[in-house]
Amino acid sequence: MERKSAAGSIRNKERSKKKFLDAVGKILKSKGYAALKVNDIAAVAGVDKKMIYTYFGGMDGLMDEYIRSQDYWSNVTTDQVLPDRGDGGRFAVEQMLLQQYDYVHSNKELQKLLLWRLSESRKSLTKLTNMQEESGESLFKLIADPYFGERSWDFRAISAILVSGLYYLNMYASVNGSIFCGIDLNTSEGREKIKKAVSFLVDQTYENL
């Protein structure tokens, strides 16, 4: 009985944590980050607000876990992209960029977080940046540094433009309109043009850097 009780307690905890995380996402999408208050999150989750402190140590811990669960780059691990094609990581880099583009496009909550990070300084959002940088550094050391050697910093600069550009195009299409440089970013045809451009730029980088 004790084992069953302990297992049930763990399941209840995980369910309650998920309710809090889902509540953060619902509020973020519907009302924006200014509405993320303890009482409102607890009300949407249907769980006593004291549990935010019990499970997450407070709002900062809750936001840290929520942001980590949503971010693309923070959840990419080196074993997922280990280059094994003898191409210096070209295929892995291309696929990660294309997956990032699709992931951000489909994740409205992450779009809100990215906009929030640009407009306000918060500890949790700084941690998002740090998590992305740590993940990125691991990938650069695995893929770019061994292949490009002294030119690896040039590859990093190109990657910075590609990653940030794809973030921006998704947020622009979601918030301000769909046409950018004459391309309708909210159509499958327009998005396919962007993807082909990404593949072209990765190929050119590997061929000419």
List, in sequence order, the alpha helices (H) in 71-178: 90-106, 108-119, 123-139, 145-148, 152-175
Contact 21, 66 (CB under 8 A): yes
Tokens 């209840």 appear where? 12
Helix%, strand%, coil% for the chain, nearest 5 = 80, 0, 15
CATH number of 2-59: 1.10.10.60
Q: Which long-range contacts (CB under 8 A, 24 or more apart) does 145-149 make?
A: 146/88, 147/88, 147/89, 148/88, 148/209
Question: What pLDDT, on a 0 to 100 scale, did the predictor assign at position 84?
Answer: 57
Question: What pLDDT, on a 0 to 100 scale, did the predictor assign at position 60?
Answer: 85
52 Cβ contact partners less than 8 Å away, ≥ 6 residues apart: 20, 38, 41, 42, 58, 59, 62
d(CA 97, CA 198): 8
Percent residues over pLDDT 70 in the chain: 89
Q: What are phi and psi of 90, to 5 degrees?
A: -55, -50
DSSP state of 72: S
Question: Which amino acid type is present at position 38?
Answer: V
Average pLDDT of the residues of the chain: 86
91-118, pLDDT tens digit by residue? 989 999 999 999 999 988 888 888 888 8
SS3 state at 161:
helix
Question: What pLDDT, on a 0 to 100 scale, did the predictor assign at position 130?
Answer: 84
Between residues 70 and 151, the one the model is more confident about: 151
pLDDT beyond 50 at 159: yes
- Say how far residue 188 (Cα) sits from the centre of its chain: 22
Question: What pLDDT, on a 0 to 100 scale, did the predictor assign at position 194?
Answer: 98
Domain positions in the chain are 2-59, 73-208
pLDDT beyond 70 at 10: no
190-202, pLDDT tens digit by residue? 999 999 999 999 9
pLDDT beyond 50 at 1: no
Can you give the pTM of this predicted structure?
0.78
Question: What pLDDT, on a 0 to 100 scale, did the predictor assign at position 94?
Answer: 94
SS3 state at 67:
helix
Question: What pLDDT, on a 0 to 100 scale, did the predictor assign at position 87?
Answer: 87
Between residues 85 and 159, the one the model is more confident about: 159
Give whichever of 2-11, 29-38, 46-55 has the largest mean pLDDT.
46-55
64-99, pLDDT tens digit by residue? 888 888 878 776 665 655 555 678 889 989 999 999
